[in-house]
Structure 1
Amino acid sequence: MKSLYILGTRGVPAQHGGFETFAEKLSLFLVSRGWQVTVYCQEASGGGISESEWCGVRRVHIPVESEGAAGTIVFDWKSTLHSLSQEGLFLTLGYNTAVFNLMHRSKSKVNLINMDGIEWKRDKWGVVAKTWFWINERIGCWVGNHLIADHPKIKLHLETRVRDEKITMIPYGGDEILNADETALTAYGLEPKKYSVIIARPEPENSVLEIVRSFSSVVRGHKLVVLGDFRPNDVPFHQQVMQAASSEVVFPGAIYEARAVQALRFFCRFYLHGHRVGGTNPSLVEALGAGCAVIAHDNDFNRWVASEAGVYFNSEADCAKLFDRLLTDEDELLRMKVASRSRFLERFTWSQILSEYEILLDTWYPTK
C-alpha cells in the first residue's frame, strides 16, 4: 500500500480555507483508491502528539499553544520532525516554512511542494515577513523534489527559479453547485438576484475598498453584501471601507457555515472578485462552480481562471461603469452565468484535479 503524508495545513476535516479543503478532498480520494494517507493536524490544546482516524484518513494531532503565525511555525516544525521517521511520499502545501523541509532532503525523503501564491508580494506583509517568505520560496524551489504550481502564471514565475521540467501545473478544484437553500438568505434580509456579493478577506490587495466605493457612488436599488471579519475599531482599513459604504452595502460579518455561503453565492446577481495577487483562487473557482456571473479585477491570475465568463475592471471608474451597465442587462447576465459553468466543467472539477494529482504522486512515489 502506498503511503502519503500531507503537511502544511491545519488539518482535516476542512474548517479554515482552500488548502484544508484540498487536503480533505485529496486524502479522501486517495483513500478510496487504496492509498494510506496521513494528514498532520494543528491542535490548540496542550498535551502530547496523538493520533486518530477520520473516514479512513490517519490524523496526527500536533498540539501548539501559540496562536497566529508563531503557532503555525511551531506546528510546521513539530510536524516536520515527526514526519522524518515515516516512510512513503510527502506532500507539503505551501512554502512558508520551507526551511524545515531541508530535513526531508537530508533524510532523502521524496517531498513534493505545492508552491501556492507569491506570498512575498502581498501588500499586507511588512518587510520582515516579506523577506521571510522570499527566502523560503527560494529554499522551497531548491529542496522540493518536484514543485506544483496552481496557475500558469505561478509556473512562469517558478521557472525563473528552477528548470521547467521540475514544475507541474495543477489548479485547485471546486464543487458544482446546482441548487442551494434559499431560506438561508432570510437571516440577512436578502432576496435572490437582488444583491451582489464579495467573499474575501478585507485586505487592500483584494480591492474591497475600490469595489465598495464604485458601488456606493450612486443609488443602485440593489444591495452589495461584503462578507468578512470587519473590525473598524481596531483596523484603519476596515474603518475606511465601512465609511465609504452607502446604505445599500451590507456587512454581515465573517460567515463560515457552508449552507449559508453556498446560498449567498448561488443566488447572487454578481460575484465580485477583487484579488490582485495569487494563483488560482479557490473562492473564484467555487463561484464558477455555482454558475455565478463574475466581475473581477483585471489581471492574469483572474483572467485565466474565469476566462470569458468574467468581465473585468482596472479602476474604480471601470467598476462603477460595469455596475451601471450590468445591473439592468439580463442578456449579458445569462451569458456570463452560462460561461461560468462551462469554464468550471472545462478545467476545475475535483474529478479532474484529483486524478491529475494521483498521476503525479504515482510518478514520484519512492521505490527501493
Structure 2
Amino acid sequence: MKLRIAILGTRGIPNYYGGFEHISEYVSAGLVKRGHSVTVYNSHNHPYTANSWNGVEIKHCYDPEYLIGTAGQFVYDMNCLLDARKSKYDVVLIMGYTSSSVWGKLYPKNSTIITNMDGMEWKRSKYSKPVQRFLKYAEKLAVQYSQYYVSDSLVIKSYLADKYHINSAYIPYGADVYSEQEREQYEFKEALKEDYFLLMARMEPENNIETILEGFNKSNSNKKFKVLGDTGNRFGKFITHKFKNDNRIEFKGAIFDTPKVRSLQNNSYLYFHGHSVGGTNPSLLEAMASEALIAAHNNPFNKSVLNTDAFYFSNAVEVRHLVENVQRKDLEKNMVLNNLHKIQYQFNWESVINQYEEFIIETHKHSNNERIIAH
C-alpha cells in the first residue's frame, strides 16, 4: 500500500534545529525509499529553500516567529494545517503538539491523524507556571483531536496510558552506527583522544548544564570541558558568564556537522548527558553510537535507554565525584560496547523507519474501515 503522507509540526528538513527535525529527516526519506509520497512542511525561514530533498516534497509555509516570537509558531502551524486540508493526504503525522493542537478543529477531516506525543513538555522548567498549564491543556487537546499516537519513550507510553487511557505505539529515535574508519577520517586538532569532558545540549535549565559545569568547576581536574550548544539565548548567556573565569570550560557553540560531533563524542573522556525531560533524546543515541562513555542525569527517561551501561548523577557533588574518579578500564569498555549493541539492534534507523511505516499503514487501514462503517 503506497500512501500520501504529510509531516507537520517541525521547523523543517534538513535538520538545523533539534529532535523532531532530526527524526523527520530520516523517516521522510526512508518512507520515500519504500515507495510512499511524502511531504514535509518547512518554515519559510528555513535555510534550505528548494522544493524537494532526497525525494521528499518540501512545502514552505509562512512563519512569523522571527517577527513576533513564540506566538508565530502557532500561526505557522495553522498555515501548515490550512494547506494540508487542501492537499488530501492519506495520513498526517504531527510531530509534537505544543503549538498545533489548539487548531485541532482544523485537522484534515479525511486524513488519518497520528501525533508523536513529545515528552511531557509542561514539565520543562524554562516555562512559567501559566505556560506549563497551557501545555497540559495542549497535551489534552492533542489526545482529543488525534486518532493515533506515537511515544518515543516507554516512560511516555505508560504516562499516556495512565493519564488518558490511550494505547500509543512505542517507536524510539534512531542513530547510525559509523565504522571506525568513518569516525577517524575526520581528524581535527580538537579531537585529541580522551583529554576532555563533553556535553551537547540546548541551553535550557532542565538539561542540567549548570549542575554539570558546577560539579566540574569545583573539581581538581586538569582536563578541558567542551560545551556544544548555541549560547545566544538568555540561559546560555547566564551560563557563559557564570563560568567565564574557569579557563578549562570551552563553549564551542552549536555544531551541526555530524562527523565532527561524532568525533568529539568518540574521543571524549566522559560524555555528560543532562537531559531530564522528554523522551528518548537523539544526542544521547548519537553518543551511544559514537562509542562515548556516558554519565547521564538520573531519571527514568535516561535509565530506560542506558540501563546499567552509564554512570548517573543527580547533583553537582556527584558530577564532581565522576569527574575525579571515573576510570577507562574493562568495565567501562563493556558499558560502551553494550550501548553500541543497543544502537545496532534496537535504535537503528532502518528499524525505526520500518516501525513508522507499519504503524502508518495499519492505522490508515483501520481508520478507513471505520469511515466505511460510519457511512
Paired residues in the alignment total 358
Task: Supply the AA of the counterpart residue of 1:98.
Answer: S
CA distance in 2, matches of 1:20, 1:30: 15
1:142-174 per-residue CA deviation (whole Å, 9 max, x = no partner) reads 111011111111111111333243x11111111
Note the C-alpha offset of 1:65. Answer: 3.5
1:200 is matched with 201
1:130 is matched with 132
Assess if the C-alpha contact under 8 Å between 1:182 and 1:263 holds in 2.
Answer: no
1:309 is matched with 309
- The answer to whether structure 1 residue 21 and structure 2 residue 10 are counterparts is no
- The answer to whether structure 1 residue 102 and structure 2 residue 105 are counterparts is yes
CA distance in 2, matches of 1:329, 1:338: 13
2:4 is matched with 3
Note the C-alpha offset of 1:184. Answer: 4.7
CA distance in 2, matches of 1:77, 1:101: 10
Assess if the C-alpha contact under 8 Å between 1:198 and 1:271 holds in 2.
Answer: yes
1:54 is matched with 53
TM-score, length-scaled by structure 1: 0.90
1:31 is matched with 32
Equivalent position SS for 2:243: helix
2:226 is matched with 225
CA distance in 1, matches of 2:144, 2:234: 43
Where do 1:284-303 residues align within 5 Å?
284-303=284-303
Assess if the C-alpha contact under 8 Å between 1:114 and 1:150 holds in 2.
Answer: yes
2:360 is matched with 361
Change over 3 Å in CA distance of 1:198–1:182 after alignment to 2: farther
Note the C-alpha offset of 1:75. Answer: 1.1
Change over 3 Å in CA distance of 1:247–1:79 after alignment to 2: same
Assess if the C-alpha contact under 8 Å between 2:219 and 2:323 holds in 1.
Answer: no
Q: CA RMSD in A?
A: 2.2
Equivalent position SS for 1:161: helix
Note the C-alpha offset of 1:285. Answer: 1.0
Equivalent position SS for 2:163: coil
1:189-247 per-residue CA deviation (whole Å, 9 max, x = no partner) reads x512111210011222111111112122232121211112225988663256425x633
Where do 1:146-225 residues align within 5 Å?
146-165=148-167, 167-179=168-180, 180-181=183-184, 184-186=187-189, 188=190, 190-225=191-226
Task: Supply the AA of the counterpart residue of 1:264.
Answer: L
CA distance in 2, matches of 1:181, 1:331: 22
Assess if the C-alpha contact under 8 Å between 1:151 and 1:279 holds in 2.
Answer: yes
CA distance in 2, matches of 1:149, 1:114: 6
Note the C-alpha offset of 1:108. Answer: 4.1
Note the C-alpha offset of 1:253. Answer: 2.0
Assess if the C-alpha contact under 8 Å between 1:39 and 1:59 holds in 2.
Answer: yes
1:310-330 per-residue CA deviation (whole Å, 9 max, x = no partner) reads 11112222222222221x442
Assess if the C-alpha contact under 8 Å between 1:104 and 1:111 holds in 2.
Answer: yes
In structure 2, the gaps of 5 or more residues are: none
CA distance in 1, matches of 2:234, 2:65: 25
Change over 3 Å in CA distance of 1:53–1:66 after alignment to 2: same
Identity %: 29
